[in-house]
Structure 1
Amino acid sequence: MPAGRSLTFWAQWLAAISVLILLLCALAVMKTGEVDTQYRMLAALMLLGSVPAYTMMQVYHKQHGYLAGLGRLLAGWLALLCGLTVAAFITKTSELFSREVIIILAVAGFALQACLYLPLHNLSRRYQQRIQAARTSLIIGTGDLALDLADKLAHQKKEPLIGLVAADDLPLPSNNVYPILGSLAHLRDLIATHRIRRLYIALPLTEAEKIEELYIDLLDSSVDVIWIPDLRSLILLNHSVSEIEGLPAIHLNESPLTSYPTAALSKALLDRTVALIAIILLSPVLLATALAVKMSSPGPVLFKQKRHGWNGKIIKVWKFRSMRMHDDHQVRQASREDPRITRVGRFIRRTSIDELPQLFNALQGRMSLVGPRPHAVAHNDYYTGKIDAYMARHRIKPGITGLAQISGCRGETETLDKMEKRVELDLAYINHWSLWLDIKILIKTPFSLFSKDIY
């Protein structure tokens, strides 16, 4: 967690947890006349458990708007309550607490946090804006990378951008919308004249020697120097920057499941818990569909196909059989009015009921509820080499639903463009993966089932 976000988080968290503990103590006194041991233990667990729960849900992130922030606050509070409930169940201590106290704490606790969130979030944003307004910046470079950076800084409106500085041997653009204040020979004068506090070096990697010279020359200047590496020609996957024994490390390609092991464990728990609950609730549908498939045509109820899973491992994905038994040696995607599809199969494909057995795949840990949809091995072999970074979509567990599916990329991919769009969304999911994103996709999935491209 960056220092700026850390300060914002801890200040708001401290205010919220203080109010919660005071509320719990007040409720305990009203109920029993004192704060008994079990309520003191509950207060301690709330104090300790709220940090991972709120961090996981990115509560108090300064970039969130009010509604998004309140949504994350609710998610973090519910995660904390679930964790406390599980702890009470395991330790068999739930009977020690007054149901009235717990219910009021759950409802009033969130209400108080929400009331605190609005003014504190507003104060936090104003504080950040005041700091950023005083942090005037300058970009060294006039190429595409520098202009792209200038656009992003202007869009974010976080810090005033004074202009650009041209490197001596690079041509100046003719239609630049940002002022070019001079060349490197005028750099120190520009820093002093405009009271520059942050300096971005946005030069191509071919200018490595010049970048090093600039860094050494600016060591005695009272400015923050930030180097923006030109990595746009690379397809980055869940990229990040870290430090290894004092050496800066740029992670170009990393699976979210290995880079965030704690969050990955939360994803696995969410997958298996929701999958088990869904199997129980949908058991009448599963049994009725199995019977209908068996009666519709000869053959097994389930269709098990080899597909690539996490890190390219071959797994068997389960589906209700929707086609008649056939001897096609070539794996073909289902198409509209496909004669191989049975009458029952057409209905269960149209309603996505045929995908429900994959809940068992999720329960087994082979699949996730949310992730890139797994394709047949033959299809992967075909598209590998035709689409850049195609197999990179397997750096996370395949899912029953995904960002591509709720974005309209469903059905047959009869053209390369359609598969490229699906892969683009799959990689975007990996790059922006979070537990909150999984929850949003799960909520949106039922509304995507009415797509005309499902058949």
Structure 2
Amino acid sequence: MRHERFVTEGASNPARRARRAIWAALLPRRSRSAMRLAIGAGAALAEFLAVLLTVLAVQAIYHAAALHAPMPLASALQVGLLLALFVILPNIARGEYSIENYLAGGPHLRRSASLWLGAWALLLLIGFLTKTIGEVSRVTAVAAFLAGLPVLLATRSASLALVRRLATTRLASARRVHLIGYDADIASFYAGQDTDALGVRVIGTSYLRSVPLGAGAEERRRQLGEDLDLAVSVVRFLRPDDVFVLVPWTDAEDVALCTDAFLRVPAALHLRPAQVMDRFKDMRLARVGRLTGINVGREPLSPIEVALKRSFDIVVAGVALVVLSPLLATIALLIRLDSPGPSLFRQKRYGFNQEAFSVYKFRSMRAAPEGAFRQATRNDDRITRIGRVLRRTNLDELPQLINVLRGDMSLVGPRPHALAHDRSFERRIALYARRHNVRPGITGWAQANGLRGETLTDADMQRRVEHDLHYIDNWSFWFDLQILVMTVLARRAFRNAY
């Protein structure tokens, strides 16, 4: 068995300074926990002050500009302090200000927006029941609500950027990690991870020896036992914060022996099978009744979430069809004048639970007899003059508002592909069919990020599928709103449109 010990500073200094740096890297720092606490407290204080100062500023401006009188300081402080506490206390309770959460790729801004709505709802409820915020005008309340959200989101964005910039191997508060596994497992870990961006410091690695071919079970256990005893001694000397066992879960006996060995040392123990962890980025421990398992995909939307999403679809689609009816009629007329054939194009697509339905689009290509499916390509000579404009502006998708009202589609969801595409890619791309676990959408997370147009390789489709699955696993009402705004306003949403 061999071990590697890493030092990230002091290599080019004189010998005395180098020895001091080595021991500083190896021995635990008493200030590390304090620094982590300080970073979290600083992030919480920044959001607390952002909310409080926004409320005070809005009320001061309103009273000075509209009422020409000083603001009631006591009432303004009461509202600002309550609102700030309603924002940061839930965040503290769910660990929002931890370094690990800041380094994770979760929906930070969506969670902050949802919490802002909840904080205001709670503030208004308490104010109504206790009659304690009667001096606050409705104008300042609305203004504080509208101004406070972008301020809160900007503060969270700045905190995220600062922590992620500081979270390198040189960050004094970074947790110190020791790795153990076979050569292939550790090599796979380094190949798939950017260690400088993990926000941890890998201080050592213990490699387990591979068992010779033909060795019996007793010989295997004896050799592994020797390696683990030595590794435990190294870990006791290095005193890391965390030990990661990279042995595959298929080697159940090896995992059990590693677990028993490292539970004897004062460090947090983690099992990290690369094949599982690298495939499912959002996996988490979950309990169902008295059963415990690793959740690798979220449950279907709850009845309340389904009702919210469906109500939003119906209202927006209905209003959009009424408001846009002159535009729709004009486009239909232009299509008929530009080339012979119907204005609308219908094609079978798979929807929720792989149930087929007819999707509506404005016809953007010359009418042709039924035949084999052929995907549109850049500079495709079948695309009409008006069709090229419709495709570049996404206006060809507007008739799908009818599909939304009929319940075949949603405003936001994975885009439905032609049946030929579905049959082909379902056999070649893992979890492709999982896109059909929700209603397809007029737009989606992939399209909002410019992943549209011709799919020349499986890798092109794989990127779309990854974005679609990310949407399914992270759905929220705010995520839908974000995608709709990006589809209309973001330049990249129109990339690859032809």
Task: Give yes or no for TM over 0.5.
Answer: yes
Alpha-carbon distance between aligned partners in 1 of 2:436 and 2:244, rounded to the nearest angstrom: 35
Q: Counterpart amino acid of 2:245?
A: I
Alpha-carbon distance between aligned partners in 2 of 1:51 and 1:363, rounded to the nearest angstrom: 40
In the other structure, the counterpart of 1:285 is 327
Quick check: 1:319–1:355 contact (8 Å CA) kept in 2? yes
One of 431, 436, 454 as aligned partner of 1:412: 454
SS in 2 for 1:373: coil
In the other structure, the counterpart of 1:101 is 140
SS in 2 for 1:385: helix
Alpha-carbon distance between aligned partners in 2 of 1:110 and 1:131, rounded to the nearest angstrom: 31
Measured after TM superposition, the shift of residue 363 of structure 1 is 4.8
In the other structure, the counterpart of 2:202 is 161
> Does 2:279 match 1:203?
no
Quick check: 1:271–1:362 contact (8 Å CA) kept in 2? yes
> Does 2:440 match 1:398?
yes
> Does 2:181 match 1:141?
yes
In the other structure, the counterpart of 2:10 is none
Q: Counterpart amino acid of 1:101?
A: T
Alpha-carbon distance between aligned partners in 1 of 2:467 and 2:158, rounded to the nearest angstrom: 36
Measured after TM superposition, the shift of residue 193 of structure 1 is 0.9
One of 252, 269, 273 as aligned partner of 1:225: 269
Measured after TM superposition, the shift of residue 16 of structure 1 is 6.4
Quick check: 2:59–2:140 contact (8 Å CA) kept in 1? no
Q: Counterpart amino acid of 1:379?
A: H
Q: Relative to structure 1, is the Cα distance of residues 323 and 236 closer, same or farther in structure 2, using a 3 angstrom cutoff?
A: same
Give the % identical residues: 32
Alpha-carbon distance between aligned partners in 2 of 1:263 and 1:131, rounded to the nearest angstrom: 41
Pairing 1:360-379 to 2, within 5 Å after superposition: 360-379=402-421
Measured after TM superposition, the shift of residue 430 of structure 1 is 4.3
Measured after TM superposition, the shift of residue 230 of structure 1 is 3.6
Q: How many residues align?
A: 425
One of 234, 237, 254 as aligned partner of 1:190: 234
Measured after TM superposition, the shift of residue 101 of structure 1 is 2.3
Alpha-carbon distance between aligned partners in 2 of 1:114 and 1:352, rounded to the nearest angstrom: 30
Alpha-carbon distance between aligned partners in 2 of 1:416 and 1:120, rounded to the nearest angstrom: 38
Q: Relative to structure 1, is the Cα distance of residues 210 and 235 closer, same or farther in structure 2, using a 3 angstrom cutoff?
A: closer
Measured after TM superposition, the shift of residue 221 of structure 1 is 2.9
Q: Counterpart amino acid of 2:332?
A: A
Q: Relative to structure 1, is the Cα distance of residues 54 and 246 closer, same or farther in structure 2, using a 3 angstrom cutoff?
A: same
SS in 1 for 2:234: helix
Measured after TM superposition, the shift of residue 289 of structure 1 is 1.1
SS in 2 for 1:191: helix
Quick check: 1:368–1:399 contact (8 Å CA) kept in 2? yes
Quick check: 2:345–2:361 contact (8 Å CA) kept in 1? yes
Q: Counterpart amino acid of 2:230?
A: H
Quick check: 2:452–2:497 contact (8 Å CA) kept in 1? yes
Alpha-carbon distance between aligned partners in 2 of 1:138 and 1:285, rounded to the nearest angstrom: 63
Quick check: 2:286–2:294 contact (8 Å CA) kept in 1? yes
Kindly provide the CA deviation profile for residues 379-399 of structure 1, in whole angstroms up to 9, marking residues without a partner as x: 322333233333223233322
Alpha-carbon distance between aligned partners in 1 of 2:423 and 2:154, rounded to the nearest angstrom: 55
Alpha-carbon distance between aligned partners in 1 of 2:277 and 2:107, rounded to the nearest angstrom: 34
Quick check: 1:199–1:225 contact (8 Å CA) kept in 2? yes
Measured after TM superposition, the shift of residue 331 of structure 1 is 3.3
Q: Counterpart amino acid of 1:319?
A: K
Pairing 1:51-450 to 2, within 5 Å after superposition: 75=113, 98-106=137-145, 109=148, 133=173, 135-149=175-189, 152=193, 154-169=195-210, 183-232=227-276, 236=280, 239-254=283-298, 257-258=300-301, 271=313, 275=317, 278-279=320-321, 281-296=323-338, 300-335=342-377, 341-413=383-455, 416=458, 418-430=460-472, 438-439=480-481, 441-445=483-487, 446-448=490-492
Q: Counterpart amino acid of 1:216?
A: D
Alpha-carbon distance between aligned partners in 2 of 1:449 and 1:122, rounded to the nearest angstrom: 24
CA RMSD of aligned residues (A): 5.3
SS in 2 for 1:316: strand
Quick check: 2:51–2:80 contact (8 Å CA) kept in 1? no
Alpha-carbon distance between aligned partners in 2 of 1:274 and 1:185, rounded to the nearest angstrom: 65
Alpha-carbon distance between aligned partners in 2 of 1:224 and 1:194, rounded to the nearest angstrom: 14
Measured after TM superposition, the shift of residue 165 of structure 1 is 1.2
> Which range moved further: 260-269 or 187-196?
260-269
Q: Relative to structure 1, is the Cα distance of residues 291 and 435 closer, same or farther in structure 2, using a 3 angstrom cutoff?
A: same
Measured after TM superposition, the shift of residue 211 of structure 1 is 1.1
Measured after TM superposition, the shift of residue 353 of structure 1 is 1.3
Alpha-carbon distance between aligned partners in 1 of 2:411 and 2:396, rounded to the nearest angstrom: 15
Measured after TM superposition, the shift of residue 202 of structure 1 is 0.6
Q: Counterpart amino acid of 1:454?
A: A
Alpha-carbon distance between aligned partners in 2 of 1:296 and 1:272, rounded to the nearest angstrom: 32
Q: Relative to structure 1, is the Cα distance of residues 244 and 33 closer, same or farther in structure 2, using a 3 angstrom cutoff?
A: closer
Alpha-carbon distance between aligned partners in 2 of 1:333 and 1:101, rounded to the nearest angstrom: 54
Q: Counterpart amino acid of 2:228?
A: L
Alpha-carbon distance between aligned partners in 1 of 2:249 and 2:56, rounded to the nearest angstrom: 56
Alpha-carbon distance between aligned partners in 2 of 1:280 and 1:45, rounded to the nearest angstrom: 43
SS in 1 for 2:428: coil
Quick check: 1:241–1:250 contact (8 Å CA) kept in 2? yes
Quick check: 2:116–2:149 contact (8 Å CA) kept in 1? no
Measured after TM superposition, the shift of residue 328 of structure 1 is 1.0
Q: Counterpart amino acid of 1:204?
A: P
Give unpaired runs (5+ residues) of structure 1: 88-95, 172-181
> Which range moved further: 428-437 or 297-306?
428-437
In the other structure, the counterpart of 1:179 is none
Q: Relative to structure 1, is the Cα distance of residues 23 and 360 closer, same or farther in structure 2, using a 3 angstrom cutoff?
A: farther
Alpha-carbon distance between aligned partners in 2 of 1:52 and 1:308, rounded to the nearest angstrom: 45
SS in 2 for 1:243: strand
